[in-house]
Chain A
Amino acid sequence: MPTWLLLAKGPAFYFILVVFVVGLLRLVVLTVWDIAAAIRRAGDQRLPYGQVVRQTLSWIFPFHKLHRLRGFYSYASYGFHIAFLLTALFLRNHLDILRDDIGFSWWAISKPILDVLTLASIVGAAILLFTRLYRADSRHLSRLSDYLLLILLLNIFVSGYVAGRAWNPIPYDGLMLFHTLNGMGLLLVSPFSKVAHCVLYPLIRLGSEVSWHLSPRGGRDVIETLHGLEGRKI
């Protein structure tokens, strides 16, 4: 077995898979816990759940609003997310490894379609990177980790796409090792970076709504903590 396949079936991959799955799960549990505690502390516990769910869903399928601002970038970003998820989760090769690793998998999408989607995600990620680099406001906002994550993703896509081609000039196993290592890197950093939005996304709007529900006496307690019982003047 080539090294990269050994790596994908070996203990290191299990380690990373557990960190990825349990780490993200932990974030969800903690956030739900926090939100529940915040609701309990809130003076007003009624929440517009319907509105929150509608808003949250409307950004999972944001087709009617992507064009509103920075349309090109927004479509690239959305397309990138869709293409990335489909290629990552429904590629036959990935699923085969997954079945070996954890014992089950699901149906796959046919290779030619995924080839197109991979190209789409490469283009999408490239546009995102390009925008970060060449738009003044995006560049100002970008942190090092934003660039590194995009480069990591591009590494994964490009190596995965090129490796299987007939015209691939680089040794197959070497490129796949690169692909595997980058993929494992992505899984490993997920619970510790903004990638965690893949599971936390549904909770953000709910959280924003909840945190407007202030807790009674909160302000007074802050004053007491800072200035003691006698408080401060206004």
Chain B
Amino acid sequence: MNNMLRTWIKDGLWAIVFAAVVAAVIRFVVGLGAGSGLNDATPWGMWIAFKLGFVALAGGGFTLAAVVYIFHLERFRPILRRAILMALLGYGSFIVSLIFDLGLPWHIYMPIISWQHHSVMFEIAWCVMLYFSVLVLEFSPVILEHPLFKHKFFQVILHGLHKAILPLVILGIVLSTLHQSSLGALFLIMPHRVHPLWYSPWLPYLFFTSAIAAGMMALVVEGFLVERWFKRGMHFDLLERLGAWVPLPLGLYLLLRLSDLFLRGVLPGALDGSWQSILFLTEILVCGILPIGLLAIKKVRESREGLLTSAILIIAGILSQRMSLSMFAMRQSTGLDYSPSLAETLIAFGIPAAALLIYLFFAENLALLGDEIPNPQATAKLRPLWMFSQDTPGRIIFARRSGLATFAIALILPAMLNLPISDTSANAVQPAIGWETLRIDGNQTGYIVDFPHVEHQERLTEQLGSKESACATCHHLNYPDDEATSCSQCHTDYYQPISIFNHTVHQKSLGGNVSCVECHETEHVRQSAAICQDCHETMTAQEGESVFNPFASSYKDALHRRCLNCHEQKAVELDKPELALCSTCHTYYESDQLQTNLP
């Protein structure tokens, strides 16, 4: 990297910071609502997403502090200061962006004097304040070592800090652990706004474990950047060790996340083909399992590119998880779209830009990076050579463009052809998700009904005497060899009745073309067909019908009828009129009812 490029990058960062300052002025002058894309329905947006990212990347601070001071792995000390600075800047960014995010920013001190113990925010605020102070104390020796502070006064402070470092570190680890977890806990209070693939009651633990992984990998990426920027060797051996150990927290995070989704029966939703599912799969497979696999191979881990690629993938995966939770995959439950305003975006990017500049300032002026170590890059002999050929420019351009065009055509053509992603009609029903509690959202609007499945099953078993008849109350017909076919498997259209009779299946199972006479005695027309009950004894006529009707009512009707019949009856029987109210099941509109849905 030459000086010219360095200057350009620095100038670019400064430009972003200046723009963000202007945006900040606008935000404070016109207010939160007018200055940002946030509104009362979607109060969480880009800033929160970025904030979670900052804190995740700051995870290296407490991890490295623990490694050096608690586990006494002294060889990691050369990169400890960078880790602390990264954490300091991460948390600093968090606090700065919080000022923009608060509706009444001048009340930011309120948690200190007005204690709301039951609020998650209270814990977060205190942890941030304390941990940030601890980080400042942890980092201040680096500043005080500068010749500018050679006065005896500062030296006394420095001496004191050195004495107090261990308690500070322990305090820092405790605080940041608490804080990382409580950020995750924020989402526990609003499970319905979070996409089921990202929601988990174990979010606090997920945040903690993934912050360790992200922090470690952030140190790796930082090492590479510092090497390029300052043209100095990096502690590749140390970074390689980080790469060797990161599968532990990352694997734990993935294991927790996947097993929770699996146990709660949400995991099949990852295959439903929606963009959220693709994002989820990418996060897990490409950014989770793939880098673990890569880092498990010693050769890969010890190659610079292998380590860097894995680190970037892991960071991307964890940032994606934070951003999905708080921005991308938040259910648009209000029906109001959120898109960040320009000012909001500028502020969001301006803060990390400022943090980078501060990092560069410290790195240039303080004993941050430690002793010079020889730069292996200087002796590396081989550079990319693949551009050599006698090809004409036309051929080179054609080769490159046609390669890109192949993928572009391949991506665009299927989209233009408007192919069916599933065979069901436009009113396709989204199956209910879960087991203990079924999350029903047939028309995919985000207006969820949580149906206590097991609770109904148990109650009905008690009332009817057997589990079979309890299940059969709702699962009135099943697929062959199936025990409890879901509603959505027959009631496949959300609004219209649809035939459940599959001609092909019958034809095939009865022996192909010779089988017509099995059902059609005379002509081969629909009218001449036998009735279902002739063969399927369970398909009896329902109320008001003379024979079994193979038309399944619409999903909406089917569910309403099934629930309401019983609920209305029980409302009278048990004298609980609220049982028959819409709001009993459709809880969402009733804000005070939200409480009952907390996990």
- Is chain B in direct contact with chain A in the complex (CB below 8 A)? yes
What residues of chain A have their CB less than 8 Å away from a CB belonging to chain B? Answer: 1, 6, 9-12, 14-16, 18-19, 22-23, 26, 29-30, 33-34, 37, 41, 191
Q: How far is the CA of A29 from the CA of B402 in the complex (A)?
A: 10
Which residues from chain B contact A10 at a C-beta distance below 8 Å? 414, 419-421
User: Is A18 a contact partner of B398 (Cβ separation < 8 A)?
Assistant: no
Task: Please tell me if B513 contacts chain A, counting CB pairs below 8 Å.
Answer: no
Report the number of A-B residue pairs with Cβ-Cβ less than 8 Å.
59
Task: Please tell me if B411 contacts chain A, counting CB pairs below 8 Å.
Answer: yes
A11-B414, A22-B410 known; A6 vs B402 contact (CB < 8 Å): no
The secondary structure that dominates the A interface is: helix
A14-B414, A33-B398, A37-B395 known; A19 vs B419 contact (CB < 8 Å): no
User: Is B391 a contact partner of A22 (Cβ separation < 8 A)?
Assistant: no
A11-B414, A26-B402, A33-B395 known; A18 vs B419 contact (CB < 8 Å): no
- The 0/1 profile, CB within 8 Å of A marked 1, for residues 416-430 of chain B is 010111110000000
The closest CB in chain A to the CB of B411 belongs to A15
Q: How far is the CA of A35 from the CA of B52 in the complex (A)?
A: 56
Which residues from chain A contact B510 at a C-beta distance below 8 Å? none
Q: How far is the CA of A22 from the CA of B421 in the complex (A)?
A: 23
Q: What is the distance, in angstroms, from A11's C-beta to the closest C-beta of chain B?
A: 4
- Residue of B391, B413, B422, B423 touching A14 (CB-CB under 8 A): B413
Q: What is the distance, in angstroms, from A200's C-beta to the closest C-beta of chain B?
A: 15
Q: What is the distance, in angstroms, from B281's C-beta to the closest C-beta of chain A?
A: 13
| Among all A-B residue pairs, the 7 with the closest Cβ atoms | A11-B414, A18-B410, A14-B414, A1-B423, A22-B406, A15-B410, A19-B410
Q: What is the distance, in angstroms, from A213's C-beta to the closest C-beta of chain B?
A: 14
A10-B421, A41-B390 known; A19 vs B407 contact (CB < 8 Å): yes
User: Is B406 a contact partner of A23 (Cβ separation < 8 A)?
Assistant: yes
Q: How far is the CA of A1 from the CA of B402 in the complex (A)?
A: 35
Q: How far is the CA of A13 from the CA of B123 in the complex (A)?
A: 51
Q: How far is the CA of A53 from the CA of B541 in the complex (A)?
A: 74
Which residues from chain A contact B522 at a C-beta distance below 8 Å? none
A33-B395, A37-B391 known; A14 vs B419 contact (CB < 8 Å): yes
User: Is B420 a contact partner of A9 (Cβ separation < 8 A)?
Assistant: yes
Which residues from chain B contact A6 at a C-beta distance below 8 Å? 420-423
Q: What is the distance, in angstroms, from A92's C-beta to the closest C-beta of chain B?
A: 15
Q: How far is the CA of A30 from the CA of B395 in the complex (A)?
A: 8
Which residues from chain B contact A14 at a C-beta distance below 8 Å? 410, 413-414, 417, 419
Q: How far is the CA of A185 from the CA of B419 in the complex (A)?
A: 20
Q: What is the distance, in angstroms, from A175's C-beta to the closest C-beta of chain B?
A: 17
Q: List 9 A-B contacts (CB under 8 A).
A: A9-B419, A11-B414, A15-B413, A19-B410, A26-B402, A29-B398, A30-B399, A37-B391, A37-B395
Which chain B residues (356-407) contact chain A, with CB distance < 8 Å?
A: 390-392, 395, 398-399, 402-403, 405-407
A19-B407, A22-B409, A30-B399 known; A11 vs B391 contact (CB < 8 Å): no
The closest CB in chain B to the CB of A2 belongs to B423
Which residues from chain A contact B263 at a C-beta distance below 8 Å? none
Which residues from chain A contact B417 at a C-beta distance below 8 Å? 11, 14
The closest CB in chain B to the CB of A36 belongs to B395
User: Is B421 a contact partner of A11 (Cβ separation < 8 A)?
Assistant: yes
The closest CB in chain B to the CB of A14 belongs to B414
Task: Please tell me if B415 contacts chain A, counting CB pairs below 8 Å.
Answer: yes
